[in-house]
Structure 1
């Protein structure tokens, strides 16, 4: 379902030569640089910090906090899917080339709660697929 971001990495994803998807960040690329590259490419970026996240509730709390999800986010899987297919909460003035969600410390979350991580990854993949053909696609990087 998820593969490593192919060479030449994040620049190709942001330029549109690598299709949007849910990718693992190659070890040669730093998560800190990903959002800066996204901004330079006129993509809106969000940094989901998963350090210390070991279950579904903590994951959804991190999403609410770090993604600044709207008040109507119900902290359940369906509500997360709804938020990721209605990005009006993420939009600012102007239309970006795309949206990049960087989920850092994904491996720790996956080891601690593999079933929850698989569910979250499926929701992220569905959201990426939903936006894939739009003028402003969504891409997810698991770091």
Structure 2
């Protein structure tokens, strides 16, 4: 593990069984315990992932390593949605130094 990831809170985002955008948004909201006002759209996802104040408290203090698992079926079934999801995850990580997103190879 590189030094810049040391100490971050590692949170698995399990997308097993996710079949559409709504399911993805629900999985992220549940995993990160996002506030009720989370809008469940691409812009809201980007804003939430880019804002450590809405992450779990421990992650807001230490940084967050979000490890995405179970994503291949969703990516295969909804390639355009998955492309947008990857773009959002990438942009959020680029915007927010304490956020790293990793796709688990399965």
Equivalent residue in structure 2 for 1:62, among 27, 35, 52: 27
Check conservation: 2:33, 2:56, Cα contact below 8 A: no
Matched residue, 1:119: 84
Structure 2: runs of 5+ lacking an equivalent = none
Gapped regions of structure 1 (runs ≥ 5): 1-10, 17-37
Asked if residue 95 in structure 1 is aligned to residue 56 in structure 2, the reply is no
Summarize the Cα distance change of 1:140–1:112 in structure 2 as closer, same or farther, 3 Å threshold.
Answer: same
RMSD: 1.7
CA contact under 8 A between 1:47 and 1:67: conserved in structure 2? Answer: no
Residues 1:82 and 2:82 are matched in the alignment? no
Q: CA deviation at 1:95?
A: 2.8
Q: Establish whether residue 108 from structure 1 lines up as the match of residue 69 from structure 2.
A: no
Q: Choose between structure 1 and 2: higher helix proportion.
A: 2
After TM superposition, the score normalised by the length of structure 1 is 0.66
Q: How does 1:37-52 map to 2 (within 5 A)?
A: 41-52=6-17
Instruction: Answer whether contact 2:32 2:56 (CA < 8 A) is retained.
Output: no
User: Paired residues, what number?
Assistant: 103
With the length of structure 2 as denominator, give the TM-score of the two structures: 0.86
Greater radius of gyration (CA): 1
